Each structure stands twice: as structure tokens, then as C-alpha cells.
Amino acid sequence: MTIIELFQKLLRFKSITPDDDGAFDFIEEYLGKEWRCIKVDMEGTKNRFFYKKFNDKKQHLCFAGHIDVVPVGQGWEVDPFAADIVDGVISARGAQDMKSGDTAFLYACKHAKEFDGTLSILMTSDEEGEGTYGTIKMLEHLKEIDFIPQYAVVAEPTCEKIFGDAIKVGRRGSINGYITIKGKQGHAAYPEKCINPVHNFAEILPKIAGYNLDNGDEYFAPSKMVITDIRGGTEVTNVTPNELKLMFNVRNSTNTTRESVEEFIHEKLKGLSYDFRTTQGSFPFVTNKESKVVKAMENSIQKVLGVTTKQSTHGGTSDARYFGAFGIEAIEFGVINDTIHSIGERTTVKEVEGLTAVYEDLIKNF
């Protein structure tokens, strides 16, 4: 089976999260008996950890990805699960996110003749959904059995303009805030008898909206306070609101914590009557630029593609954050990211073959 035949095979599984649609059974058969498999399935989510020990060295490199895709939506010009090739382009759900990456590491790992240690593959059927029982559960199990990898390459699409131009060496976290400013509802004609939460908060809003909570660093842009929703009142003109509700999000670097965000808000709201809570959906991580996996990937990209890549932490979250939380030196590298989740998601044959070649070189020279 060629690289592109494998790619088409994976794309034809209708693996809408969290259903793998039989893909994991195929992958287990594809890798063959030389690869052992650990299964952790719960709450409708399937997780697979395939591994092969080439020798007894402690070095352990893991490739990671998800087999699930988002729903296809309406308006496709082609069958989103047909995976047909037209002029070197494959349009299909999951083409960029992330069955291209899955294909590349599955092919590279299967055909690896030698490696100085252990190669492994971690895959889940729930990354696009809540992910509660996905990658994190497999990593928890691997920790329990003392089999946590040293290094990880998550095959998410990372490139921006040119294939090979960016690798992710970290990700920002995500902190959500929910504020309710309390007031006293009344008639607009008698403002002195009301406590108007909008008026009371008005002078504070410019002090928090768009505010940089830190100055950033060589890895991260500043952590910015982004207001995402404000609402209050009864949608009439003669009644003042009883309360004002707002929400915000902070994509935080390692320089800003949930606790520091809470301290900032409490300081700004002094003197007001309010309720306030935060949640944190993900935590930031960064892999040192001198890490072996960073240097090795940069070298392979330069050697195979002739591109000098940059280190990035831009974008949202991915399962790479879970690897970082377990002390694993993790990076991400995959095809160009410009149509993920969209109608007509697509990538090229050239990119998938190039990504496979980069992974093969990484394994050979790691």
C-alpha cells in the first residue's frame, strides 16, 4: 500500500467524533504483529497505543494524532469521504486535520527498519469533541505502567504559507471568566433610585478590555484579556438593568496563571457588588528550543524540504498540551493549515508524501 493509498483509506472512514468507524481495527492490522497494542476505551471513546521496541535503550519517541473528524457540514462540491485525487489535490473531511499526519507517521513507523530505542503511536477517537476520555486517559494509563515517552511529535497541521515553514513548540492555555455586576433595577426617569450596573462598570471596561496581562516572551505573545460577551437589561428603554453579565477569555502563556487573572479582576472591581468565577480548559506548555526533538525536526525539515522552519506557539489548543503536562518534550508538525474544519477541506499529494519523508528522516537520524 502506497502512502497515498493509505491516506485515501483513512479518509474513507466516516470517523465523525467520537466514532472511529472501524479505522483502529484497520490500523492494527496495517501495522502488523511486530507492533504491540494497548487499548484504553471508555465512555464511547477509543484510544490506541501501538509500540515497537527496537532495542533496550530508554529512548522513546511517540507520534500522536486523532482519527476523529468534525461533521462535514453542507455545501461540498465533492463527496467528503470519497478522497478522490483531482490535479494532485485531495478534498475530504480530515484531509488537513489530521489524517494527513496520521498517514505520514503510520507509514513512516511501519517501514522503519531501525531506531535506537522505542517507537510508539498514540491515537484517539475523541480530540475534536470534549476529549475528556481521549489522549489524557491513555497518558494516565502509560504513567501507571511506567511507559511514558520521552519525546512526542503530534502531527497536527502547523504550516502557515509554505509547507515546512512552522513547527509548534508549545501552546497557549485558555482561561474563561464569568462576571456578574449587581445593581438595583428601577425606572430610567429616576436614576437616583437605581443602582445601574452598566454605569458603574463603564469606567472599568477600558481598563480590562484588550489588556495585556504580561509582556510575552520569545515563545509567546502577550496574554490578552478578550471580552467575548456583555449583556444586561430587559431590552426596553425605560428600565435600568438589575445586573450586567460579561464573559472573557484569556489565551495565556506560561507567564500568566488563572490565579493572577483572578487577582487582576478582583483589583479592578473593588467597590462593586459582583460575582466572579473562572474556569481553565487547557494549560500552556512550551518545549525548550534546545530539546533533541526540536533540533531533530528542524534538521529533517531542512534536509528533506529545504525550508528553514520557525518555532511557533500560535493558535488554539491541541492534544500536545497533555503531553506537556506529563513532562514529555512535545512538538507539532504537519501540513499547511488553511482549510481545517471548512467546507472543501483539502491538502495535496505532495505535502502528504513530503510529511512522510520528513518523519522517515526524523526516525532514521533521531
Please answer whether residues 193 and 249 qualify as being in contact, where contact means their C-beta atoms are separated by less than 8 angstroms: no
Cis omega (within 30 of 0) on the bond before 247? Answer: no
Q: Distance (Å, rounded) from C-alpha 274 to C-alpha 327? A: 38
For residue 22 the three cell numbers come to 472501524
State the SS3 of 60-116: EEEEEEECCECCCCCCCCCCCCCCCEECCEEECCCCCCCHHHHHHHHHHHHCCCCCC
Single out the residue of 238, 241, 259, 242 nearest to residue 250, CA to CA: 259
Cis omega (within 30 of 0) on the bond before 18? Answer: yes
Cα angle 23, 26, 29; round to 5:
150
333's CB contacts (< 8 A; 6+ apart) are: 153, 155, 158, 167, 168, 297, 301, 355, 358
Please answer whether residues 238 and 194 qualify as being in contact, where contact means their C-beta atoms are separated by less than 8 angstroms: no
Q: Distance (Å, rounded) from C-alpha 87 to C-alpha 95? A: 15
In 10 A of CB 271, how many CB atoms? 8
Please tell me which residue in 20, 68, 156, 345 is annotated as part of the active site: 68
Please tell me which residue in 102, 126, 127, 319 is annotated as part of the active site: 127
Strands 186-187 and 239-240, how do they pair? Answer: antiparallel
User: What are the CA-CA distances from residue 302 to residues 24, 330, 336 (Å)?
Assistant: 33, 19, 16
68 is catalytic: yes
> How long, in residues, is the chain?
366
Q: In whole angstroms, how large is the CA radius of gyration of the chain?
A: 24
Point out the residues that are catalytic: 68, 127
